[in-house]
Structure 1
């Protein structure tokens, strides 16, 4: 089998010939293995894709080494998320003969080893002890002819695979039917910053930041387009040239290079040791050597030459150690008047920079076309081109859902990160107003609010790009036919987290943000079921006095506060009402209107409001909920829900008070039955009496 390019020239082949017959066929087996076989002997494979895996290790495929032929079966990352050609990271069995996997960068540097196979797990991956063994079963074979690993999946439990990502991590992922997606349950190495060259030169890796990589002080991103596409391996470049003005040079002291202390938890690789008995001696050794980039003094003096790579930031300061990085004198603030030489140097440097910008601008025409698809960054937001978002979403082919403001589509960024792309419907604001409101949304960050990554505005096309939530929206878990029932602890976590997010919008932002459309469809869940409120800020912003009227009524029937109907001013208490209605559904796991009692349809909030005073709220719930529920939390949540849906908005609690109540920090009294629920209760009782007669 041969693959040809547009000029009919071969670019890949299986490198086999079948002289026995002309009846070679290709078959994709149920395992995913694509095989070439002869029809006269279909069990004898002439070639199989399992012998040449790309970036995925599938069940039943062997990863190892043929000791007779020398052939090594390895998994290699893609070059980037859109280019499947071989990348820089490789997973393979240890060629030295030990029973472990190793990760290599550029087929040369080992940056991670799994540890020897113990029969149940790899010694260096203790987290394997907690992952689902009923799903995967490993087998290690080592004899005179070959050594390899193979794994099988329990098809009744699900299916799984291993993927070498462009980021250099191997992710074990399992298919979750409930969310119709692959869910990662193991990463090797566990920390992204353990990957070799993950941030390129003169950059810092931090596990505590969303983007992992950032340039060191005195350096800027070398290829801005690459970084925007999630590929920071191009690293960073100096903002100012080094003077290299050592003590023996003609340069004045003011022009000498300096050093700044950078706290790190991991020092760069490839260090040199020199004789020095103090920090000052170590500094002098580096300063007087023009090729020295940085130094560190601990139990010895360590120097670095050339590019600095693999720096890792300290997470809490407990493991911090200082490395002193060389910078030009101009990078350090000074109150002295700049010298004539410095002015001339700055002018010359400016001319060089301008020239470089012109050259780079010219060269950028010939760079990858995709670089033009991200135009710039506004604040913390990336401005995307519409055609680029079309590419990331495969022309908006996979719709995740549709809400009050538009449809949401699944996409994948250049680094393999999943994104949610929302196409807004009927946006009437002008360009300037739209950008201003989006910029405001971009500055709002809270653990229980979905994060806005960027946007697109081209004519009538208005699009928002958000982080992707692995477990989808709350309604799929509460009402979906394939969903697994959520236990009470998870439901309480979701209710409390959503309340915290709303409290932040109402009380902590510069201007009170009323959501106007709180419902389970707008509460998204991450991999740990932490709730994230979506669509906030898409309705109008109002003043902190909460007195301005929102001219366009939004929301969804069933969650709307009475004031939406009466036409009175809309305040944050409208969100409180909607939250209460949603809280009833979180508590019960059903739509409020989907309850039946004695054969008649019953509105669930009516049942709760009328049963609460009787003190027998547990009788309303299924045994699955009650068996693991904290009954005090359950009763408290029911009271909160009833207070939230009171007729008069001034009797409803604030979201800040709701957070305190759910946390058990604030007492709550027995709520009265709202008048409209009382009417529904009497109507339900009347209907039930009529049916009995």
Structure 2
């Protein structure tokens, strides 16, 4: 890999050009802005778009180009610094239709800000779970294209970059959709890199409850298959249009005793898939306006993705081919974890 870093001071900023060589090549620029420029662009951070554990996101406009931007303002804690470095070093060096684009950043004094292209339609969770009154309802064809786009983005991260990039936090909140509902994987603050000479890496536990692969909880070195697991959980939520677990149900993936099988959607999904009744799993607001063949395909993929063993889960490149209709997929077995939930629920009912 040849990495060419050209620094040219021009008025208020540095221009950085990165050239990457691999299966695919990309070249792009990242501008380093002054803090005062971003204060002006966001009107003193007056319009908040959202927030997370490490900071908040604000809407802004670049005065010269009139481009609408989303500015992530990270806090000054060490975790904020780690997230800043992780995002600049990962998404700053890659370009893909289904990965959010980092336009510029600010690293001035204690200020750490990341500037992204603004996604007009926000994040996927807002549409699936109707988190705002103006959230658009997603048709099945739109949902299917979102699943395929996210799969392509993750396949690129895992298999086409110079180093494998594991996102580590795939969930609907980190999938943005543009004006045409093209999905963009976002928020690389927890991302980690694995050299092509290695198959796994030991990293501290992180991520979001409900989307975490169970092997990560045991402390073993991780592989890209943790993203595959999270992707499978997201697919089930895309099918149903609701969270996999109710608000009052625990997400402790280390123990099946904290789940009730009638409240945990993955249990219902694998049961209905095996009985040939995937139609009943689909978001009722779609009113039968969907492709049953595509629903079954997505459900099969999802249930393969959430298998207990990472070795039983497919790679993202394989998933892309299945979703594109270029490869058939077998019926997935019942994961042991889900079987344990059913068994414990049955035992509790008989008492």
Range class of TM-score, shorter chain? 0.7 to 0.9
In the alignment, what sits opposite 1:495?
147
C-alpha separation in 2, matches of 1:689 and 1:428: 48
Structure with the larger strand share: 1
Distance of aligned partners of 1:622 and 1:521 in 2 relative to their CA distance in 1, 3 Å threshold: closer
Listed one character per residue, the Cα deviations across residues 321-350 of structure 1 (whole Å, up to 9, x for unaligned) are xxxxxxxxxxxxxxxxxxxxxxxxxxxxxx
TM-score in terms of structure 2 length: 0.83
- 1:668 equivalent to 2:329? Answer yes
In the alignment, what sits opposite 1:480?
130
Listed one character per residue, the Cα deviations across residues 195-246 of structure 1 (whole Å, up to 9, x for unaligned) are xxxxxxxxxxxxxxxxxxxxxxxxxxxxx97xxxxxxxxxxxxxxxxxxxxx
Whether contact under 8 Å (1:595, 1:603) holds in the other structure is: no
- 1:419 equivalent to 2:80? Answer no
C-alpha separation in 2, matches of 1:386 and 1:461: 7
In the alignment, what sits opposite 2:339?
678
Aligned residues: 316
TM-score in terms of structure 1 length: 0.43
Listed one character per residue, the Cα deviations across residues 520-559 of structure 1 (whole Å, up to 9, x for unaligned) are 0000000000000002365232212232212x32210000
Distance of aligned partners of 1:574 and 1:405 in 2 relative to their CA distance in 1, 3 Å threshold: farther
Paired residue secondary structure (2:340): helix
- The alignment yields a C-alpha RMSD, in angstroms, of 2.7
Match of 2:306 among 645, 648, 659: 645
Paired residue secondary structure (1:592): coil
In the alignment, what sits opposite 2:208?
556
Match of 1:391 among 35, 40, 50: 40
C-alpha separation in 2, matches of 1:401 and 1:687: 41
In the alignment, what sits opposite 1:403?
52
Distance of aligned partners of 1:547 and 1:487 in 2 relative to their CA distance in 1, 3 Å threshold: same
**What is the CA-CA distance between 1:517 and the residue it aligns to?**
0.4
**What is the CA-CA distance between 1:475 and the residue it aligns to?**
0.4
Match of 2:230 among 548, 553, 578: 578
In the alignment, what sits opposite 2:108?
458
Listed one character per residue, the Cα deviations across residues 16-41 of structure 1 (whole Å, up to 9, x for unaligned) are xxxxxxxxxxxxxxxxxxxxxxxxxx
**What is the CA-CA distance between 1:397 and the residue it aligns to?**
2.4
In the alignment, what sits opposite 1:377?
15
- Within a 5 Å distance, the mapping from 1:95-494 to structure 2 comes to 374-379=12-17, 380-414=29-63, 415-425=65-75, 426-427=77-78, 438=88, 441-481=91-131, 482=133, 483-494=135-146
Structure whose alpha-carbon radius of gyration is higher = 1
**What is the CA-CA distance between 1:579 and the residue it aligns to?**
0.5
Whether contact under 8 Å (1:595, 1:601) holds in the other structure is: no
**For structure 1, which runs of at least 5 residues remain unmatched after alignment?**
1-223, 226-371
Distance of aligned partners of 1:576 and 1:430 in 2 relative to their CA distance in 1, 3 Å threshold: closer
Distance of aligned partners of 1:428 and 1:581 in 2 relative to their CA distance in 1, 3 Å threshold: closer
Work out which structure has the larger RCO, using CA pairs closer than 8 Å and 6 or more positions apart in sequence. 2
**What is the CA-CA distance between 1:410 and the residue it aligns to?**
1.1
Listed one character per residue, the Cα deviations across residues 285-324 of structure 1 (whole Å, up to 9, x for unaligned) are xxxxxxxxxxxxxxxxxxxxxxxxxxxxxxxxxxxxxxxx
In the alignment, what sits opposite 1:629?
290
**What is the CA-CA distance between 1:618 and the residue it aligns to?**
0.7
Distance of aligned partners of 1:422 and 1:677 in 2 relative to their CA distance in 1, 3 Å threshold: same
Listed one character per residue, the Cα deviations across residues 99-154 of structure 1 (whole Å, up to 9, x for unaligned) are xxxxxxxxxxxxxxxxxxxxxxxxxxxxxxxxxxxxxxxxxxxxxxxxxxxxxxxx
Match of 2:280 among 601, 605, 619: 619
C-alpha separation in 1, matches of 2:149 and 2:115: 22
**What is the CA-CA distance between 1:434 and the residue it aligns to?**
6.9
Structure with the larger helix share: 2
